[in-house]
Structure 1
């Protein structure tokens, strides 16, 4: 789960004191152990970003043993009185560009108050990355249908999942036991210490809410202002969370179909959501039978639909592409596949997901649970299962569990959209119960990633006030939805 779909804003223009324009030998933040410099070109950091390395233990049970190096990024003024550490989600998403994206999107009253710091978590990008090798050859193009047509088709996908797990173990087996959310939270405390701060102020999106809540549980005394946006359910493991997502994704797709029906004059899919759904099924069947350039079939259309469920600003792109395909022009589908399709193997994401929780190792359990979920979420149940199926064969043991909210954890500010499919609203409710005293800003609609990127002033104001004053709202806040795109 990630906010990459909403992190498409183009940012430009930086103040003269911003990190990206400071000399390489710029003075470090007072009392900190970090010296910022220009980011290496291969990191692709936005202009106005500074970078720095930080060494941490690979294994916190052996803190004097092998070390790995994290890569940090920062944007804003080095003279800012506060530091906001940000995680964009995933797991497995790079944070190098997130610092500048968030800093440039802050409301005016916060711009001078915060230096924004992000980082590639361990196992990701420029921080001891999990590399599963060249796995492209494991995946036929196009992929076979997500819902298996027979036992042989299902076994083909199971074999791919097993080979992915084997490849990750072969190429990164020494890292896999240590790529956990607990260790990433411990890394964040090392970042706090290196930045010279008594408390960690933090903004986390999607999976970043799990990371933040884990930090608050392990380090309650050093938890400062904390905003958790698009909240992961703290009571579910990764296996169960996938089945929680399935019906939420199905409901979100029905909203997309209803939206397309409301614009039937443009797309000509049908005048009701049910009609659009039937047309969508016909298009999926046609692509399965006759893939475009042997690249995009029905399974790839499923991928695109799932990705488009994160934010409704991607709905016109996908609807236009399918409309053009029905009119005889497949180029839109090919382009949409590049923009919206999911990466079949994200080694870092698998590493976190497969080790953070216990997963069934008996494929019969996966089959039975997915077949049951398929009855209520036929568009997504099998897709979601295949995306995580390598965890059934993972070669690293599960980490000891952390019960979110155990002990005297401080209250935080939660932000959530009511119809978010990637992190359903039930998770935010349960996180609020786990982190006692927390407040919830609940928006209508279903966009994943609300603060700064949802265009909703009703959401942004209480969050900005909290980051400015450190005072939580006196009660939960309800906000209307931002209208879907026209």
Structure 2
């Protein structure tokens, strides 16, 4: 699934309000000042969030031509001297709820310093969204097993992927060529200018690290303090990154099985990691042969496991759902499968993933590479491939190549968990090498999205200090992982 969504956990409310902000537009962006006011009800913004709109070019090669509208959101004090722009990940994630989550988790010193601003990137949510139409008829319920039993079953899944790509092109064809990370970086510079800031201070999670690194490469002179949390590999294409994730997800699943074994008195799934893995595989086989209520098959179970690998706080929920199913109570599994089915086709995410890089057009390569990956990562290799498979048939040109870190780029602060399965650690190491002089805050855990949301003071303190002072740590920082649930 080339999973790049960030985990921004629900947080306790902090009394913050945005009543309105007006900035004097810079000369380069005449008449484009931003005024935050009450959000439209249909945006579903958290209380205390202000919203605004900004026009940007659809096509930056014709900047005076057709414009599209970005929707921005902000939270924090209007008296704050600085602005922190935040991207929650994805690609394809809405930023409307992000400022309130971030502000509520900040230290008092950071809340005094920053108004937090996020936005729906182009093609997402309330910012000229990519529309793939009604895809419910394209995706069967339950899905066929991720690992095809034969060539016919594989071609059924290939056909679904082709149909999704065709539907997105039919409904959003003129928009798709312009939904790229490079264009979103250009949009961020327009946001910076409209906010009246000489430098962009930035916090990006997951895919947001790719966006931040792209901005710093394209606009090094206006890059301010840059925090990249849960870091995407800057050297891997979208196709390659899926195969990087496969073994990392498999390793993280092994940690989940070991954790469940320690909690056997509660969940009764096995007393060793291998025993829990056996229980899990038995369940996959059973659901593959006889899907639950004709809704939950082995593919849906695989999706649940992959989603749960982002954050160990979700492990008890999945373990309990399996325990209840084995005891005859099935509602938790069917409910979880239903929630995942709602996002079975994420058009905005596909638009970015498919247009940012070139993808193989010959399905024989996908088959050979996935078959090979499945020997090491049997739970996830085919799942990841099917998630990205529409890119083999995407109807939009790819963005021009950009070498992340090329040119006179500034050092940045990287934040990473050693066992993060969505953005594996080796990618963060490559990003650090791409931005000479950068520092890394490394947690020994595996949760995706560290700063502010993993309740780890060892991580939060150096990042907070950097955002307050602009001074990178003198050396990389290594942190212990917070305890897993129930430990």
Q: TM-score range by the shorter chain?
A: over 0.9
Q: C-alpha separation between the residues in 1 aligned to 2:204 and 2:21? A: 28
Q: Does 1:28 align with 2:29?
A: no
Equivalent in the alignment of 2:101:
101
Q: C-alpha separation between the residues in 2 aligned to 1:443 and 1:27? A: 37
Equivalent in the alignment of 2:15:
14
State how 1:73-112 maps to structure 2 within 5 Å.
73-112=73-112
Equivalent in the alignment of 2:467:
467
Equivalent in the alignment of 1:396:
396
- Please give the secondary structure, in 2, of the residue aligned with 1:115: strand
State how 1:192-271 maps to structure 2 within 5 Å.
192-271=192-271
Q: C-alpha separation between the residues in 2 aligned to 1:296 and 1:222? A: 49
Q: C-alpha separation between the residues in 2 aligned to 1:2 and 1:369? A: 21
State how 1:51-62 maps to structure 2 within 5 Å.
51-62=51-62
Closer, same or farther in 2 for the Cα pair 1:147/1:482, shift >3 Å?
A: same
Q: Does 1:43 align with 2:37?
A: no
Unaligned runs of 5+ in 1: none
Give, in angstroms, the shift of residue 2 of structure 1.
4.2
Per-residue deviation, residues 305-331 of structure 1 (Å, max 9, x unmatched)? 000000001100000000111111111
Q: C-alpha separation between the residues in 2 aligned to 1:76 and 1:27? A: 11
RMSD of aligned alpha carbons: 1.2
Equivalent in the alignment of 1:67:
67
Q: C-alpha separation between the residues in 1 aligned to 2:420 and 2:305? A: 15
Equivalent in the alignment of 2:405:
405
Q: C-alpha separation between the residues in 2 aligned to 1:330 and 1:245? A: 30
Give, in angstroms, the shift of residue 30 of structure 1.
5.5
Give, in angstroms, the shift of residue 268 of structure 1.
1.1
Asked if the contact 1:48–1:75 (Cα under 8 Å) also holds between the matched residues in 2, the reply is yes
Equivalent in the alignment of 2:477:
477
Give, in angstroms, the shift of residue 134 of structure 1.
0.3
Q: C-alpha separation between the residues in 1 aligned to 2:205 and 2:102? A: 11
Q: Does 1:137 align with 2:137?
A: yes
Unaligned runs of 5+ in 2: 27-32
Deviant stretches of 4+, over 6 Å = none
Asked if the contact 1:53–1:71 (Cα under 8 Å) also holds between the matched residues in 2, the reply is yes
Closer, same or farther in 2 for the Cα pair 1:165/1:451, shift >3 Å?
A: same
Give, in angstroms, the shift of residue 445 of structure 1.
1.1
Give, in angstroms, the shift of residue 56 of structure 1.
0.2
Asked if the contact 1:317–1:336 (Cα under 8 Å) also holds between the matched residues in 2, the reply is no
Q: C-alpha separation between the residues in 2 aligned to 1:481 and 1:339? A: 29
Asked if the contact 2:261–2:271 (Cα under 8 Å) also holds between the matched residues in 1, the reply is yes
Q: C-alpha separation between the residues in 2 aligned to 1:69 and 1:11? A: 31
Give, in angstroms, the shift of residue 342 of structure 1.
7.4
Q: C-alpha separation between the residues in 2 aligned to 1:455 and 1:336? A: 26
Per-residue deviation, residues 125-170 of structure 1 (Å, max 9, x unmatched)? 0001000000010111111100000000000000000000000000
Normalised by the length of structure 1, the TM-score is 0.97
Equivalent in the alignment of 2:312:
312
Asked if the contact 1:51–1:71 (Cα under 8 Å) also holds between the matched residues in 2, the reply is yes
Give, in angstroms, the shift of residue 11 of structure 1.
4.0
Give, in angstroms, the shift of residue 31 of structure 1.
5.5
Q: Does 1:160 align with 2:160?
A: yes
- Please give the secondary structure, in 2, of the residue aligned with 1:138: coil
Q: C-alpha separation between the residues in 1 aligned to 2:21 and 2:366? A: 54
Q: Does 1:188 align with 2:188?
A: yes
Give, in angstroms, the shift of residue 206 of structure 1.
0.2
Q: Does 1:436 align with 2:447?
A: no
Equivalent in the alignment of 1:124:
124
Per-residue deviation, residues 86-105 of structure 1 (Å, max 9, x unmatched)? 00000000000001111111
Per-residue deviation, residues 69-102 of structure 1 (Å, max 9, x unmatched)? 0000000111100100000000000000001111
Asked if the contact 2:56–2:68 (Cα under 8 Å) also holds between the matched residues in 1, the reply is yes
Per-residue deviation, residues 17-74 of structure 1 (Å, max 9, x unmatched)? x21xx2xxx4514557111111000000000000000000000000011100000000
Give, in angstroms, the shift of residue 108 of structure 1.
1.7
Asked if the contact 2:414–2:428 (Cα under 8 Å) also holds between the matched residues in 1, the reply is yes
Closer, same or farther in 2 for the Cα pair 1:299/1:266, shift >3 Å?
A: same
- Please give the secondary structure, in 2, of the residue aligned with 1:85: strand
Give, in angstroms, the shift of residue 10 of structure 1.
4.1
- Please give the secondary structure, in 2, of the residue aligned with 1:266: helix
Asked if the contact 2:21–2:34 (Cα under 8 Å) also holds between the matched residues in 1, the reply is no
Equivalent in the alignment of 2:370:
370
- Please give the secondary structure, in 2, of the residue aligned with 1:351: helix
- Please give the secondary structure, in 2, of the residue aligned with 1:86: strand
Give, in angstroms, the shift of residue 287 of structure 1.
1.1
Give, in angstroms, the shift of residue 109 of structure 1.
1.5
Q: C-alpha separation between the residues in 2 aligned to 1:248 and 1:7? A: 21
Asked if the contact 1:31–1:196 (Cα under 8 Å) also holds between the matched residues in 2, the reply is yes
- Please give the secondary structure, in 2, of the residue aligned with 1:36: strand
Give, in angstroms, the shift of residue 3 of structure 1.
4.6
Equivalent in the alignment of 2:456:
456
Asked if the contact 1:307–1:341 (Cα under 8 Å) also holds between the matched residues in 2, the reply is no
Normalised by the length of structure 2, the TM-score is 0.96
- Please give the secondary structure, in 2, of the residue aligned with 1:128: coil
Asked if the contact 1:417–1:443 (Cα under 8 Å) also holds between the matched residues in 2, the reply is yes
Q: C-alpha separation between the residues in 1 aligned to 2:341 and 2:325? A: 17
